[in-house]
Amino acid sequence: MLKFIFGYTKFIKNYFIIALILIGTLTFLNSLKPIILSGSFNIIINELNLETTKTNENTESSKNLFDLNHLNSEIKNILTKKLISFEDKIIFFIIALLVINISIYFNGYSLEKIIVTARQLIFKKIRSDYLKKVISLDFLIFGNQKIGDMISAIGNDSRAMSQGAVSFLIRTISAVVLFIIFFIFLINTQIYLTFFLLIILSFHYFLNLFLKKKQKKLTKANLDTTASLFSTINQFLTNFRIIKCFSAENYSNEVLNNELEITHDVERKYEKIIVRENEIRKLIDGIFEIITIVLCLYFVYQQRISISGAIGYLYVLRLIVAPAKQIASAPLWFERIKSSGENLKKIKDIEIEIISGAKKIETIKNNINFKNVCFYYESSKRKVLDNISFNIKKNKITGIYGISGSGKSTITDLILRLIDPKEGRILIDGIDIKNFDLKDYRSLFSIVPQENILIDASIKENILFGRNGITEDNFKDALIKSRCLEFIDDLKDGLNT
């Protein structure tokens, strides 16, 4: 599943490389903030002679860049040479923090633009791939429930998976890198205090384990009920004429409201668990914050951390919260993305049974011949057609009649190769129709369906319906024979209506 979800990242390689560069820049800039902040406090405290600590053997500087107890010795030497007065050093730190924060803003904004652009490209690619797949599927796939699944997959699941392939991946990488850098600051400044941080993070992890199974179940239920709702809406909108003719508005409303009630009930439970998760995390963070402040004060009192180190530690602790939450909630977010990926993969894995042959065909010379044909639908297994044989001769009118469910439409679907016989063969001029190229074969037939089918396009596009190679004479002849020419000519925009 991981390969399936993140496989689309190959289409955004350049964006991904730029994103990684921006993540590296953001990490560097964010790592400068605690150094500058604790450094400025260190200078102020040393200037005022407020403390003497046991840390780092009472030195006022350290060679460890990540130890916030003291200003790094190399940085201190540079500041001493370039900036003599105390005021100059403080002004330098203020300007440096301002420049860094502005740089972080522009880098963060650029990263978000890259994420949005890449996500839209992936979103478009996923939708395009699945629309192409859906159009290529066999006729019998499109049961009522399947239509809802398709609509939901192309609408909701493709969006969720594009977020997983781009937003989730890039933001998780960014969060992990930032967390590692900030954690290095914390463990170098006060190792024992940082062990407490790990205990708190374990609570977030156990919360994930507790919510994971239930959230996965609700995520799947949410997607399934949404698909069912789309199916029902599609059913009623497709049969809108019938609803009006039979004055079935009340019945339709009742069925739709029942579907809405089920869908909204699942959505309410889903939202409830999300809210509960967020509030529990806030509670854990609140308790953690209070205990951390108390422990910092205790360690300052015990001279195991400097005042500037404690301030820097608390500041980094604030910075580490966002990436820590992102990492902690990543498994839950992945479960949501995974559910959408599973729905899309189900469509991708549907096998096409009506396989095109290679043989070209331009016309039917003699006849269409059914030989011992049997057919049944998988849903019932009852044979609709049982060992039937008959011959349809060219230039003869052949009528097929029978009661409802006797197999008239099935015979038509078999001739058009929308379905294939379970047993027996259908021959054209002695050749099995499975041997013919599907596009060539189906172009031999004209169909007048029981129901009118119009797409949201011009009259001309509805008549042509994607067929190429139609000459103007052929087109006009079809209009005359179907007695459409006169009323089309009376329209303001004619064929372009």
Q: Is the pTM of this model over 0.85?
A: no
pLDDT of the residue at 208: 67
* 222/269 Cα distance (integer angstroms): 9
Given a cut of 60, is residue 485 above it in pLDDT? yes
The structure tokens listed for 416 are 């058009």
Average pLDDT over residues 176-181: 90
Contact, 479 vs 485, CB < 8 A?
yes
- CA-nearest of 105, 111, 104, 101 to 21 is 111
pLDDT tens across 199-245, in order?
776 776 677 667 666 777 777 787 778 777 777 777 777 777 677 77
DSSP letter at 434 equals: G
Average pLDDT over residues 283-292: 79
pLDDT of the residue at 256: 83
Mean pLDDT value across the chain:
80
pLDDT of the residue at 143: 60
Residue 71 DSSP SS3:
strand
Gyration radius of the chain over CA positions: 35
* 68/79 Cα distance (integer angstroms): 17
Given a cut of 50, is residue 20 above it in pLDDT? yes
Reported as a pLDDT band with limits 50, 70 and 90, residue 313 is: confident
pLDDT of the residue at 79: 64
The structure tokens listed for 270 are 């889903």
Average pLDDT over residues 291-310: 82
Specify the higher pLDDT residue, 111 or 283.
111
* 167/114 Cα distance (integer angstroms): 10
CA angle, 86 as apex, 84 and 91 as ends, to 5°?
Answer: 100
* 346/145 Cα distance (integer angstroms): 14
β-bridge mates for residue 72, sequence order: 62
Reported as a pLDDT band with limits 50, 70 and 90, residue 198 is: confident
Reported as a pLDDT band with limits 50, 70 and 90, residue 431 is: very high
Contact, 66 vs 185, CB < 8 A?
yes
What is the Cβ-side half-sphere exposure of residue 175, based on CA atoms within 13 angstroms?
16
pLDDT tens across 23-77, in order?
999 888 888 888 887 777 777 777 666 554 444 444 344 556 777 776 555 566 6
